């Protein structure tokens, strides 16, 4: 077997054999296949796709590259959630402690930013002292004592995906449905959760731009999970506009704490509760009310314990960027569009994301929104505030915002997309 033959097969729109898939994943994990060669194969997969048999085998090979975890010793049923990535998508932060407060155990393995989308681990690392890297024993201890853990996948869990995940981010292959599905599901199946709820984003700020592509991805992942004995459900949710009022690391942590305190933006609260109900139902917990757990402070209690158990200080002051730039409305009227992708690119260019897998991120960088579609705005009022430690980045970020919103005449009717657009099980 050789990597050139594997690349050529997919380049020429052929079907990879099970033997080719098993070999190339194992060889890449061992370093026999170089990054540039896997980049070529990933691009061929993006352009020419994979059938269901190829995706299933690719996922199995990713799982087989490492260990599998088991949570049978826990006294609670396990439920996990995964988002395909969006702009301002801080939902995992309030969701994990909320579901834990309602009686489930949440083993949340999360990732870092991909392209214009933020990463949960990058966000949480803006909390002083918080650690993303835990051993399996540490992860189980945090999960058992607090009910929820958010951490990076260990080196032994689907190590092939860990390498490929970082490579996709910097080679323009993030959007490949087979690679998204296998990346997500290899980790989740190897993780050993009993049930899984998928948040598949749809819209300009998502990797899936159309409802049809989102359904294809969701159906593929639900089938992969179901075939592996994991109860799997997917919600298709809107990502045409950023979630909440922030896109950036510390900015989103601050907003998540507001949600846990009983406040926060309505769209973030709505989606958090919707996903919590799906997770609890999948875990077989029927009598808990996540809305009540937000209101009575029990979700906040679990958040504080979870953060502290991973070395973080829940009372610490979060980083603030040294420089700000305000973008104002140029006309008065009704804001009818605020493009999620453009906001995500601006946040990335300000330092909230990375251009190379080795790049650091700025904890305080990002974009703060002062209005959402449907709001009435006045000429000259702030629409956005850009945050960064490196003010020379402002001009580059502003270039992504040239045509990012529409303002219609006052009195124009506006109807927002529903947050939850579809459900696939």
Q: Which residues are catalytic?
A: 82, 161, 168, 183, 187
Which residues, at least 6 apart from 30, have a Cβ–Cβ distance to it below 8 Å?
none
DSSP-based three-state secondary structure for 190? helix
> In the structure encoding, which two tokens stand for residue 372, read together?
């959402």
Read off the DSSP letter of residue 351.
I
DSSP-based three-state secondary structure for 259? helix
Q: How far apart are CA 107 and CA 101, in angstroms?
A: 14
Q: What is the DSSP annotation of 119-184? A: -HHHHHTTSTT--S---HHHHHHHHHHHSEEEEEPPTTSSHHHHHHHHHHHTTT-TT-HHHHHHHH
Which residues, at least 6 apart from 288, have a Cβ–Cβ distance to it below 8 Å?
102, 103, 280
Half-sphere exposure of 248 (CA within 13 A, CB side): 30
Instruction: Give the CA angle between residues 223, 228, 232 to the nearest 5°.
Output: 50
Pairing of strands 246-248, 366-369: antiparallel
Q: Is residue 43 within a helix (H) or strand (E), and if so which, with residue range?
A: helix 35-48
DSSP-based three-state secondary structure for 388? strand
């Amino acid at each position: 077997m050789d990597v050139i033959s594997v690349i050529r097969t997919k380049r020429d729109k052929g079907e990879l054999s099970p033997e080719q898939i098993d070999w190339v994943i194992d060889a890449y994990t061992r370093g026999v296949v170089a990054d540039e060669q896997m980049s070529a194969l990933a691009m061929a997969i993006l352009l020419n796709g994979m059938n269901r048999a190829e995706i299933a085998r690719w996922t199995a090979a990713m799982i087989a590259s490492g260990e599998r975890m088991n949570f049978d010793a826990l006294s609670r049923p396990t439920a996990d959630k995964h988002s395909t990535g969006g702009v301002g998508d801080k939902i995992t932060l309030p969701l994990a402690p909320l579901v834990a407060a309602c009686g489930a155990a949440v083993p949340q393995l999360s990732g870092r930013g991909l392209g214009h989308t933020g990463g949960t681990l990058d966000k949480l690392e803006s909390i002083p002292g918080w650690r993303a890297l835990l051993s399996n024993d540490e992860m189980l201890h945090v999960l058992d004592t607090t009910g929820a853990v958010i951490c990076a996948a260990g080196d032994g869990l689907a190590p092939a995906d860990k390498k490929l995940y970082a490579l996709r981010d910097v080679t323009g292959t993030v959007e490949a449905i087979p690679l998204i599905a296998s990346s997500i599901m290899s980790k989740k199946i190897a993780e050993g959760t009993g049930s899984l709820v998928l948040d598949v984003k749809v819209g300009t700020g998502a990797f899936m731009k159309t409802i049809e592509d989102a359904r294809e991805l969701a159906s593929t992942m639900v089938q992969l999970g179901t075939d592996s004995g994991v109860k799997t459900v997917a919600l298709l949710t809107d990502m045409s506009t950023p979630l909440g009022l922030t896109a950036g690391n510390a900015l989103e942590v601050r907003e998540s704490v507001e949600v846990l305190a009983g406040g926060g933006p309505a769209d973030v609260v709505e989606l958090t509760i919707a996903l919590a109900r799906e997770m609890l139902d999948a875990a077989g917990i029927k009598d808990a009310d996540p809305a009540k757990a937000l209101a009575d402070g029990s979700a906040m209690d679990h958040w504080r314990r979870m953060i502290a158990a991973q070395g973080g200080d829940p009372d610490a002051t979060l980083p603030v960027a040294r420089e700000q730039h305000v973008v104002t409305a140029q006309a008065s009227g009704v804001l009818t569009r605020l493009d999620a992708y453009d906001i995500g690119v601006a946040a990335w260019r300000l330092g909230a994301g990375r251009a190379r897998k080795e790049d650091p991120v700025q904890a305080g960088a990002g974009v703060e929104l002062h209005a959402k579609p449907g709001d009435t705005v006045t000429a000259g009022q702030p629409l956005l505030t850009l945050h960064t430690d490196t003010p020379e980045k402002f001009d580059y970020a502003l270039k992504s915002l040239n045509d990012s919103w529409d303002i219609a005449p006052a009195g124009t009717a506006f109807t927002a997309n529903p947050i939850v657009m579809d459900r696939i099980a």
